[in-house]
Structure 1
Amino acid sequence: MKETKQRTNGKWNLLAVIAVCIAPVVASYFTYYVIKPQSRTNYGTLLEPSAYPIPASLGTATLDGTPAVLDAYKGKWVMLSVDSAACADLCRKKLYEMRQLRLAQGKDMDRIERVWLVTDAQPVETMLMREYDGTHMLRVKPDALRAWLPVDGSTAPADHLYMIDPLGNLMMRFPKDADPNKIKKDIAKLLKASRIG
């Protein structure tokens, strides 16, 4: 009788040990597949880089018409803005934020280039060019640009800021009227995680 009781206790002890070992695995599967956590650490929308390489058909050129390519900035991170030469308030705000976001990266700021793709043939104000000296201003074919840059809902490419990785692939889009502090954190994370650029 005593031996049977010991066997029963031993079985229960063994089952308890197995249950303790299996419980974390079961809990993790339950959390992942049933509760499905939605947390993410990035503010901007991550894009599949291989889906958005810089197309050769952009037909980019400097403001004076000299052919130039976005591929020239490979090896660096590129903050990209798109707008017409008239550069209304939202355009000016984006150019200002790009300059400040680059400066905010401190010792890593030299890893970033700023590019403004101008979508028409109108002249850009001389004062604007001086104010944002260091921003590369290139004219682009609008149709080719629309085919390349993904947008969010009913927005247009001019509503967003984009990031191009050092391999020359579009990899992040920031929302319309984005919060510069959140963009700054995303860029800092990209620079910290990247061994290139």
Structure 2
Amino acid sequence: MSSEPLNLSVHSLPDPSQVNAAQLRSGRLRMLLVLAACAAPVIASYFTFYVIKPQGRAYGELIVPTVDLPAQLSLRDLAGQPVSVESLKGQWLLTLVQNADCNKVCEDLLFMQRQLREMMGKERDKVDKLLLIADDAPLRPELQQALTTGIPVTILRAPRAQLDAFLKAGAGQGLNDHLFIIDPMGRWMWRSPVQPDPSKVKGDLNRLLKANAGWDKPGR
């Protein structure tokens, strides 16, 4: 048996605080990379539409910067029940602001709104029709029936003052004169001219949907 003493090597253990800090930094970096990957299509699509602007100028007026749906917007359905602002998100909204009496000009805009959605073809499932009533008067029964036949219009009431603070009319015009487009994230981003041309509105809407194809999905 050897008489040489037995030598033992002692290795230091890693500092737990240093290990946790390294893991935390790594986790944060991975999270930032995931967020960047998710945001990239949205950023790229808006850059393409607003900066590069393919296929020439827009027919309507682009709203830059976009305006978010106000969280405090007091929405009610025709039965007087409150409706959440969040419920409007998830679809492109072809939006009209009108009074309950709805004259001939109003009826023409509602017809155009209906036709526009149908003109979108296979993309129409991404688009909803929204009518915001700015007073408390009752809708005519025949108008209400027409608006709820087929693919119904979402009809909600909201105070005129709140709508005026959210959507803006063109110079010398009223909200009733325009068609507005609100994107699926709840941002007002486009306003039509007075007496809009449906085919030209369709062109702008097609460009919007194409620019956002990376993140916009059919169905709410």
Distance 2:65 2:90 in 1: 15
CA contact (8 A) 1:79 1:98 kept: yes
Equivalent residues in 2 for 1:85-100, closer than 5 Å:
85-100=100-115
The structure where helix makes up a greater share of residues is 1
Distance 1:187 1:63 in 2: 28
Q: 1:101 aligns with which of 105, 108, 116?
A: 116
Give the number of aligned pairs.
Answer: 158
Equivalent residues in 2 for 1:163-174, closer than 5 Å:
163-174=181-192
Stretches of structure 2 lacking an aligned partner (at least 5 in a row)? 1-54
Q: 1:193 aligns with which of 211, 214, 220?
A: 211
Residues 70 and 112 of structure 1: is their aligned pair in 2 closer, same or farther, counting only changes over 3 Å?
farther
Distance 1:157 1:40 in 2: 27
Deviations 1:86-106 (A, max 9, x none): 000111111110100000001
Deviations 1:77-127 (A, max 9, x none): 001000100000111111110100000001111100110000110101121
Distance 1:166 1:59 in 2: 19
* Partner SS state of residue 56, structure 1: coil
- What's the CA shift for 1:154? 0.8
Match of 1:135 in 2: 153
Residue 111, structure 1, aligned to residue 129, structure 2: no
- What's the CA shift for 1:49? 4.6
Residue 60, structure 1, aligned to residue 78, structure 2: no
Match of 1:47 in 2: 63
Match of 1:18 in 2: none
Equivalent residues in 2 for 1:170-185, closer than 5 Å:
170-185=188-203
* Partner SS state of residue 187, structure 1: helix
Stretches of structure 1 lacking an aligned partner (at least 5 in a row)? 1-38
Match of 2:89 in 1: 74
- What's the CA shift for 1:70? 3.8
Distance 1:109 1:148 in 2: 26
Residue 122, structure 1, aligned to residue 140, structure 2: no
What's the TM-score, normalizing by structure 1? Answer: 0.76
Equivalent residues in 2 for 1:140-151, closer than 5 Å:
140-151=158-169
- What's the CA shift for 1:129? 1.6
Distance 1:130 1:155 in 2: 29
* Partner SS state of residue 113, structure 1: strand
Which 4+ residue blocks in structure 1 deviate beyond 2 angstroms?
A: none
Partner amino acid for 1:190?
A: L
Q: Which moved more, 1:63-72 or 1:141-150?
A: 63-72
Sequence identity (%): 34
Residues 49 and 80 of structure 1: is their aligned pair in 2 closer, same or farther, counting only changes over 3 Å?
farther
Distance 2:144 2:126 in 1: 22
- What's the CA shift for 1:71? 2.6
Distance 1:95 1:70 in 2: 22
Deviations 1:120-152 (A, max 9, x none): 101011211221221011000100111111111
